Structure 1
Amino acid sequence: MPDISLSRFSSSERDHTDKNQTRMSPQMEDSPQDQEDMRRMGRLQELRRNFRPLAALSFSAVLQATWEFILISNSQGLENGGLAGIFWSYVWTFVGFGFIIVSLAEMASMAPTSGGQYHWVSEFSSPRYQKFLSYTTGTIIQGLITLRDPSYEPQNWQGTLFVFAMVALIYFFNVYAASWMPRMQNLLLALHLLCWVIVVVVLFAMAPHNPAKRVFTEFHNGGNWSSMGISLMIGQISAIYGSLNATAHMSEEVKDAGRYVPIAIAWGYFGNGILGLVILIGFLLALPSVPDALDDSTGFPFLYVFRQILSTSGVNGLTAIILIPVIFSNILFNASTARQTYAFARDRGLPFTDWIAGVDPRRRIPVHAIALSCLISGLLSLINIGSQMAFNAIISLNVAALMYTYAVSISCVIYRKITCPETLPPRRWSLGRFGLAINILGLLYVFFALFWSFWPPRPSPKAKEFNWSVVIFVGVFIMSLLMYMFQGRKSYVGPVVAIPRRV
């Protein structure tokens, strides 16, 4: 049985743990169970727990914004798959990702911390590899600090200015309006649902419809691949992009997190998935021509569909209804990213750790981590001025990097369940006796999605069409190895160091 205790580490590592335990401890507002979870993980409560269960669920639903993103980001699915292809790939992605999401939810119940995947890797992996795997998982997650900006960009510099405006808005809400956000979450959920109803009514009640047989059986191999099957596999990226979730990183701000964070993750995913499925069916029924939609001057097939139904003012209004929830999704995405950055810095995984992990004593939020994530987003957008291809290559890392972190964290919990399940921490949201099988199915789907996420949209692509995510992913992975060799191996000890002995 592995000995998960402080005795396995050097005196310098224990000193780091002691230092972490003596950081400021503001007045507690958490439940006894929250206090027990933080004690078991060796963490003091620095952030304010002001998210109640419904607010946590609202955060998960609005952050994911599945129906909005399946409308905005469906060009690749339409090109490689067509009407039936994007529908059926959404269905199997919804099922496959479901195994991943519930696996993550169970881990969030066992270890409800802002660290998320890198903490789970540290706690559940083999003691021999926990430090290395946890560090590389954390550094790769840092590559995800980007804005999911769906706006139309006639000129590269205009798009960059738009990102700057978004960054300013995100910083304001996540710092100066942070105390309002938990109270606003229920309103944001209502907005998310109300906007969905309006779009559904337009697509189902106002648009002329294709025959159902065409929607569910007509495929399109616009990438000119050697088979329809390969085209379908490549087009599924549109469905995958609308399935990502990062709610676990808010765990240290949710009351009774061990119970309600996994509920928020699971219910937010499946609820959003159903909303997305209804919207997708309505969109496909209303889409008169896949080639025309892909060739539309706007660059967005959903705008092509709206133009067939509504006047210009109507298109503008309906598009605004979609973008408003997306803007708030970006705000919440940054909040989640900042918490993970704060947690990784707290465990000495980044340079300038004391500054990055600093918590504002009055607001009790990681202001420096929020500022850093906004700064990186702004700097990345500058690349867009010189080369949109380079900018797109960087943000294309999003899916691949998350798939990697999911693969490592789920692999580690599978290892622990097989080798020594008795050492797993208690969880209040459990997958029960089917948990191991669900974890394995989730891991298999992760590898499946990761493999196809590296493919270009068509054979023999030009440089601007090439899927550069594989190059960027390898580059970030090599960078994380170098950071581990020159910094992490000496300064990073991993969350498991702070966890009391369990035998």
Structure 2
Amino acid sequence: MQVSDKAPGLESQDVDYDVLQEAQAGAGAGTARDDDDMHRMGKIQDSNSQGLTNGGMAGLFWSFIWTFIGFGFIIASLSEMASMAPTSGGQYHWVSEFSAPRYQKFLSYITGWMSVLAWQAGSASGSFLTGTIIQGLISIRDPNYIPENWQGTLFVFAMILVIYIFNVHASNLMPVLNNLLMILHILSWAVVVIALWALAPHQHAKAVFTQWENLGGWSSMGLSVMIGQISAIYASLSSDATAHMSEEVKDAGRSVPVAIAWGYFSNGLMAVVVLIAYLFSMPSVDDALNDATGFPFLYVFENAVSTAGVNGLTAIILLPVIFSNILFNASTSRQTFAFARDKGLPFSKWISKVDEKRKIPVNAIVLSCIISCLLSLINIGSQTAFNAIISLNVAALMYTYIISISCVIYRKIWHADTLPPCRWDMGRWGLPVNIVGLVYCCFSFFWSLWPSSLPVTLDTFNWSVVIFGGVFMTSLGMYVFKGRKQYAGPAVILLRLQD
């Protein structure tokens, strides 16, 4: 999710990767009993398998379908706002511009903090996945290797170092990476789908589309599936990354919303195809969740091809994902830079500084890399570290969507004549689409903070609740003591410039 990108068309990469990761992958959280077994064996449990644990094959498939549809209303709403106000600030800027003047400063400030949190968590999740997948590959080549959590964290650090080097010292290569990523994205999708359909043993359609499973210990199948849908939601995130690069995109009022909308819907269809191929190629959900690598998609690959083939298929997934992580960090750092530029963060002057030689916000890039490292440290003490990071990503981003879409709904109902011109216009369908998108945002937010299984222990607790609550309370405190005095908000700044 993650990882959509920044220039037109790149948001596509996110949906594909995440489905190759959560759909194709469901990384090994298993049942509550499986958690204990994997901990005893020293294996890494990656809770991206939550869709398989809570819902089984049918749950993973159908939750992706309704998520794809529901998220479509959100994407359409975000595209419309991006056309009205193309800016790197994204949600906090839209809130500032569309909310009631009385609440403009407060809502924009809090939304800015939560948007920074969401994008930083999303950036960390991509590095976490690539680092721990490499650790899983080592387990395939060396069955005697016992992966430790701290080792996985070191691999994550290595991925973050690569991101830093490219974003700072090879920033001039970004246009090349954009084009290369698009090519790799399509090729990797085609190769994986063909390999799974041609070489893997196949399940019956009845098992794929009707076999629901509750392996998380929940009281009912319905509750289990609702919790498991976090995998599908995560796969659909961040398609609005292009919005945060608006100030570096030509004809942003038109190009950005087109990139957001078409990237999401085209890749959603591709994701459905690869998800079906993945599920048909999974002989056993239990075996997939208990695979020694901790990644069910590696289990599926092992049943289809040789060890060399597993390495090859995983490599063609990892390469575009690594490139995507690099570009995702670019979007994340620009969003952080924009909020700091408006004096919304501590040390704003330092964060918003632009390198005179490279013409990029180097300090914001460095800060984003540091935050990714800090979030990845959760992995050392918790088996469900990734679940916490993606839940944090989902919850914080849904919060910003809720506030920004609510504000544009308010503006359309009571002050429609004050809305800025929009080159990507949904016409009379705009308001109904916004309302449905808002309802789905609230629905996703509610389920994003639940733990993945019962009973809840220190190891399986969803720590995203603590981080989300902590950052939210911090933002309130910062507003009282600093923000209300120093932060004006983009809308006020624009009015001053016009005067």
TM-score w.r.t. length of structure 1:
0.86
The equivalences for 1:444-483 within 5 A come to 444-483=439-478
**Counterpart among 12, 25, 49 of residue 72 in structure 1:** 25
Provide the aligned length of Structure 1 versus Structure 2: 449
Question: Counterpart in 2 of 1:229?
Answer: 222
The 2-side partners of 1:389 and 1:310 are apart by 29
The alpha carbon displacement at 1:396 in A equals 3.4
- Could you tell me which runs of 5 or more consecutive residues in structure 1 were left unpaired when the two chains were aligned: 1-53
CA contact (8 A) 2:6 2:328 kept: no
Question: Counterpart in 2 of 1:362?
Answer: 357
The alpha carbon displacement at 1:179 in A equals 1.7
Question: Counterpart in 2 of 1:57?
Answer: 8
The alpha carbon displacement at 1:305 in A equals 0.9
2:70 is aligned with 1:87: no
CA contact (8 A) 1:63 1:332 kept: no
The equivalences for 1:388-467 within 5 A come to 393=388, 396-467=391-462
**Counterpart among 86, 101, 108 of residue 82 in structure 2:** 108
2:338 is aligned with 1:343: yes
- Could you tell me which runs of 5 or more consecutive residues in structure 2 were left unpaired when the two chains were aligned: 27-47, 136-146
For residues 175-194 of structure 1, give each alpha carbon's deviation from its aligned partner in whole angstroms, at most 9, with x where no partner exists.
22212212331221011000
Q: How well do the aligned residues superpose, as a CA RMSD in angstroms?
A: 1.9
Question: Counterpart in 2 of 1:166?
Answer: 159
Question: Counterpart in 1 of 2:245?
Answer: 250
2:55 is aligned with 1:96: no
The alpha carbon displacement at 1:306 in A equals 0.9
Distance change >3 Å, CA 470–CA 376, structure 1 → 2: closer
The 2-side partners of 1:353 and 1:478 are apart by 19
Deviating above 4 A after TM superposition, structure 1's stretches of 4 or more consecutive aligned residues are 386-392
The 1-side partners of 2:53 and 2:375 are apart by 28
The alpha carbon displacement at 1:236 in A equals 0.6
Question: Counterpart in 1 of 2:42?
Answer: none
The 1-side partners of 2:242 and 2:416 are apart by 26
Question: Counterpart in 1 of 2:183?
Answer: 190
Distance change >3 Å, CA 55–CA 295, structure 1 → 2: closer
Say which is worse superposed, 239-248 or 180-189, in terms of deviation: 180-189
Say which is worse superposed, 59-68 or 129-138, in terms of deviation: 59-68
The 2-side partners of 1:158 and 1:451 are apart by 33
More helix by proportion, 1 or 2?
Answer: 2
Q: Radius of gyration: which is bigger?
A: 1
Distance change >3 Å, CA 261–CA 500, structure 1 → 2: same
CA contact (8 A) 1:66 1:273 kept: no
2:198 is aligned with 1:205: yes
CA contact (8 A) 1:380 1:391 kept: no
Question: Counterpart in 1 of 2:144?
Answer: none
For residues 23-81 of structure 1, give each alpha carbon's deviation from its aligned partner in whole angstroms, at most 9, with x where no partner exists.
xxxxxxxxxxxxxxxxxxxxxxxxxxxxxxx9833322234434433323451111111
CA contact (8 A) 1:174 1:370 kept: yes
Question: Counterpart in 1 of 2:303?
Answer: 308
The alpha carbon displacement at 1:392 in A equals 5.7
TM-score w.r.t. length of structure 2:
0.86
- For the residue of structure 1 that corresponds to 2:185, the secondary structure is helix
The equivalences for 1:325-340 within 5 A come to 325-340=320-335
For residues 388-407 of structure 1, give each alpha carbon's deviation from its aligned partner in whole angstroms, at most 9, with x where no partner exists.
56786455311111110111
CA contact (8 A) 2:382 2:460 kept: no
> Among the aligned pairs, what percent are the same residue?
65
The 1-side partners of 2:87 and 2:209 are apart by 42
- For the residue of structure 1 that corresponds to 2:236, the secondary structure is coil
